[in-house]
Chains A and B, each alone.
Chain A
Amino acid sequence: AVATGLTVVPGLGPRLAHATEAEVTDVITEMLGEMPAEGAISIDLPEIAENGNTVPLSVEIDAPMTADSYVQDIMVLADGNPSPRVAQFHFTPMNGKASASTRMRLVQTQNVVVVARMSDGQAMMASKQVKVTIGGCGG
């Protein structure tokens, strides 16, 4: 596909603008009330994505998944896409393991930010930069 979606048309500029770090911060504080500390979240992403249309992503947290304590949510954000939200995974103890994978669009080189919330309300975050050679359209 041709990345026509990235053409900024006069008068439509704001709608097609890219997300910013500030927007990512807004989404996280809306979800958690405050910015969490850096934590042990494993983010598996390529350092360089030749095709931004389909960038493989895996996230994992090495934590017990029991009824008393488990990873409840993992949210993935991208600070250089048109909108910062990518996906939010909701886990339960039945997952056995707090791990999930998907494929994402990255329109340009940017930071992928991952936020996790545990069942007791504790939260943490981590991020990883991906250099994008050919941007994915319209993420």
Chain B
Amino acid sequence: MARIRPRVRVPGEAAAGDVVEIKTLINHPMESGHRKDEDGNPIPRQIINRFEALFNGQEFFSVDLYPSVSSNPYISFFAKVDEAGEFTFRWHDDDGSVYEETKGIALS
């Protein structure tokens, strides 16, 4: 598998009270477990099964993902920003790996 590299787009700054859009993408095959290889053997499931978003350490959004989510899962959502701080994003892989990315936001 190619190296897993999460990508996140968050505005660098916002006015207090603004609702900002956050866009996330992670390269991952999201192998569904329903496919077979060329010899007819089932290809084991391996997906990102959970995504979490935290702001200053507090979880405010999460997603349970199933094999029907496309490969290289894209998730976008919103956050109301009342103070400057740091977003943390975490992707949980079926194999136990956790991929993490952080982004700061300032008040304008």
Contacts and interface: CB of A to CB of B under 8 A. Distances in A.
Interface string B60-89: 111111111111011111111000000000
Contact of B77 (A55, A78, A99, A138): A99
B40 interface: yes
Nearest to B33: A138
B1 to A, nearest CB: 15
Which residue of A1, A6, A103 has the most chain B CB atoms within 10 A of its CB atom?
A103
Contacts of A65: 80
Nearest to B32: A138
B36 interface: yes
B32 A5 contact: yes
B66 A87 contact: yes
A53 interface: yes
A78 B32 CA distance: 15
Contacts of B59: 92
Interface of B: 19, 31-36, 40, 55, 58-71, 73-80
